[in-house]
Amino acid sequence: EAQVTQNPRYLITVTGKKLTVTCSQNMNHEYMSWYRQDPGLGLRQIYYSMNVEVTDKGDVPEGYKVSRKEKRNFPLILESPSPNQTSLYFCASSLWRGLSANTEAFFGQGTRLTVV
């Protein structure tokens, strides 16, 4: 079954304690990205990756890091989490079809992070 898998689904942590949210896709997609969803703000892009070892900032990258060492995995790293990073996080993947963007993104089920 084609899917994007995030772990963990729920996480409560304390300020400053490094954490990693994993994301894996089994569709051989080139493109992966992270979004956060906040009340009244919708979904906003944090980071994206066009392929292995190619990553770049989205709209709200502050406080986050990513890496893309393998095509299937795209972990989101919070080196020193703060309460304003409490949010619902989604990983997404899609095929890359060059400059023609006529393809849909597939989303994981989400990770609800609470930083206290």
Partner 1 sequence: DQQVKQNSPSLSVQEGRISILNCDYTNSMFDYFLWYKKYPAEGPTFLISISSIKDKNEDGRFTVFLNKSAKHLSLHIVPSQPGDSAVYFCAAILGGSNYKLTFGKGTLLTVNP
Q: How far is the CB of 80 from partner 1 (least distance, A)?
A: 26
x/- map, 41-70, partner 1, by CB under 8 A: xxxxx--x-x-----x-xx-----------
Backbone angles phi, psi at 72, to 5 degrees: -80, -20
Quick count: other Cβ atoms within 10 Å of Cβ 21? 21
- Which one-letter amino acid corresponds to residue 28? N
Nearest in space to 2 (alpha carbons), one of 27, 29, 37, 39: 27
Compare residues 19 and 95 and give the one whose CB is closer to partner 1.
95
**Binding residues for partner 1, per CB under 8 A?**
4, 31, 33, 35, 40-45, 48, 50, 56, 58-59, 90, 92, 94, 96, 99-110
